[in-house]
Amino acid sequence: MTGAVAIGIDIGGTRLRTAVVAEDGTVLEQRRRPTPAGEADTLLAALEEEVTAVGGDLPVGIGIAGLVTPDGIVRYGPNIGVRDLSVAAGLEERVGRPVTVINDASAAALGEQRVGAGRGCDDLVLFTIGTGVGGGVVLDGRLLVGAGGFAGELGHLIVEEGGRPCPCGNHGCVEAYAAGSAIGRIATDHLVASDRPSVLRKLPTIDGPAVTRAAEEGDEIAREVLAEVGTWLGVGIASCVNALDPALVLIGGGAARAIAPYALPASREAAAARLLGRRFRTPPPIELAVLGDDAGTVGAALHATARHPATGGGQDGSR
């Protein structure tokens, strides 16, 4: 395919997306299927089918929701049901070409930095807001991977010791306040704490999308809930900025756009108020990511080209 440099595959809890990507991040061809459940072999067989269906001999970059070592072993993928699965080596053996594997939010951060909202910015962090809260860090133009490959889990920055329980087993993580399911629980607490009217009171169950819909309709409690979510996110952002000093903070993931009008002003305020030396510096902008559903596939593909250039170009994109 003209201009194609790599195949990017984004393995989420429910959907597996495959894209053929050009050097400038353009998606030239796309495929989607449900993420297979069950055995490791089922996942590797599905990945082989996707790569074979695209054809050619392009390198393959995979982003997966989980903890991934630098040599492409998925230590733990809670939503996909895999543990200690050597995805890179396993797929390389099946398709006979280089395969790189990174965390999905790290892939999205790299995608945004190369061809999205962070183009031209060497130092950025991305928080992804969806079923959970993920994160990715690019510093000096390179994806931060860490000693074990587990860097950038910004959703598990603890913003309140002993706070709300997080699916990771800790309490008070950003994810426990800003993930879709967490938004529903915070809304329920707001409804119990007040007797003001709200359209949310008529609903049998309250989840993140219900809260954002109510906020869009002008519901005051829903807007307060999303402002609280934004504040917690801002507290996490402040720690992240104090540690890493990025030039840009991006918010992406499935729920980002819907919560942004009510949450991001609160995030900016909460982050700015907690920065070290806040009277003597300008806080980095906190903005929406732009690649949407393509961020993971595009980022994973560009990561693969940096590691295994198909066209002789590219530079090492990870360390």
- Applying CB under 5 A, the residues found at the interface with Zn ion are 156, 166, 168, 170, 173, 175
What is the enclosing helix (H) or strand (E) of 167?
none
Instruction: CB nearer to Zn ion: give 64 or 173.
Output: 173
User: What's the closest the beta carbon of residue 137 comes to Zn ion, in angstroms?
Assistant: 17
Instruction: Please identify, using beta-carbon distances, which residue of 23 and 153 lies nearer to Zn ion.
Output: 153
Specify the residue, 23 or 228, whose C-beta has the smaller distance to Zn ion: 228
The Cα 221–Cα 223 span in angstroms is: 5
Neighbour count for residue 314 (Cβ, 10 Å): 18
* Non-local CB neighbours of 188 within 8 Å, separated by 6+ positions: 206
Q: What is the rounded CA–CA span in Å between residue 157 and residue 234?
A: 11
Q: How far is the CB of 166 from Zn ion (least distance, A)?
A: 3
Among residues 154 and 210, whose Cβ is nearest to Zn ion?
Answer: 154
Distance in Å, CB of 50 to Zn ion, minimum = 31
Smallest distance, Å, CB 181 to Zn ion?
Answer: 13
> Which of 95, 174 has the CB closer to Zn ion?
174
Identity of the residue, 31 or 171, whose beta carbon is nearer to Zn ion in the bound complex? 171
User: CB of residue 150 vs Zn ion: minimum separation in angstroms?
Assistant: 13
Whether the CB-CB separation of 291 and 298 falls below 8 Å is answered with yes
CB of 161 to Zn ion, least distance (A): 12
Nearer to Zn ion, 156 or 307 (CB): 156
| Side-by-side strand order, sheet with 248-252 | 142-143, 133-139, 124-129, 248-252, 286-288
Rounded CA separation 96/42 (Å): 18
Would you give the end-to-end CA distance of the chain in angstroms? 30
* Closest approach of Zn ion to the CB of residue 33, in Å: 29
Rounded to 10 degrees, the C-alpha dihedral 225/230/233/238 comes to: -140
Crossing angle of the two packed helices 104-115 and 295-307, in degrees rounded to 10: 80
Q: How far is the CB of 132 from Zn ion (least distance, A)?
A: 8
Q: What is the 3-state secondary structure (H, E, C) of 257-296?
A: HHHHHHHHHHHHHHHHHHCCCHHHCCCCCEEECCCHHHHH
Cα 311 to Cα 9, 107, 304, 305, 319: the distances in Å are 19, 21, 12, 8, 21
**Minimum CB distance to Zn ion smaller for 26 or for 170:** 170
